[in-house]
Amino acid sequence: MRVVPMRISLLLLFLLFALITPLQAQIDPIPNLTIQPIPIRGGDIIPPYGLFNQFFPGPPNQTPPFYPANSDPNGIGNFRGVAAMGYTFGSATDNHGNPYGVVTDIRVYQGEYVGGETASANSGGATKSAPSRGTFVEI
């Protein structure tokens, strides 16, 4: 299978989807969600971006290296519930018939969490802790 160099390679497209979402979680709120989930506090420092709040568990002795297999798969902090994740490879075809390689890291979380909600309408946006539950996907 031929992997088409970017302009927009799905090989990176899906990887970017997988990795951009947590970045957005740091930059943008989830629209219309009263109690916002809080990212985990640790992660990778990726210059020049900064701290990327995600761990990548996997087997040892890989290049590039994974975190230990028992690392937290969650992107959400203060979370309790079901989590599923996994790395995949695949293939795709675009609307012009071009083939692509696909790499994914899609994670699913369903359960309760303690996030942040507006503390007061007059607080200027300050938050306070609040419990909630929901289903989230990182793609």
| Binder of other proteins out of 3, 114, 119, 130 (CB under 8 A) | 114
29 counts as binding other proteins under rule CB under 8 A:
no
Give the nearest distance from C-beta 123 to other proteins in angstroms. Answer: 22
The count of C-alpha atoms lying within 13 angstroms of the C-alpha of 90, restricted to the half-sphere facing its C-beta, is 13
Q: Identify any residues that bridge with 109 across adjacent strands, giving them in sequence order.
A: 83, 136
Q: Identify any residues that bridge with 53 across adjacent strands, giving them in sequence order.
A: none
118 counts as binding other proteins under rule CB under 8 A:
no
Q: How far apart are CA 65 and CA 45, in angstroms?
A: 14
| Binder of other proteins out of 2, 5, 83, 118 (CB under 8 A) | 83
Show the tokens assigned to 121.
Answer: 């309408």
42 counts as binding other proteins under rule CB under 8 A:
yes
| Binder of other proteins out of 84, 120, 126, 128 (CB under 8 A) | 84
Give the sign of the dihedral formed by CA 130, CA 112, CA 103, CA 13: negative
Number of residues forming the site for other proteins (CB under 8 A)? 71
| Binder of other proteins out of 68, 120, 126, 128 (CB under 8 A) | 68
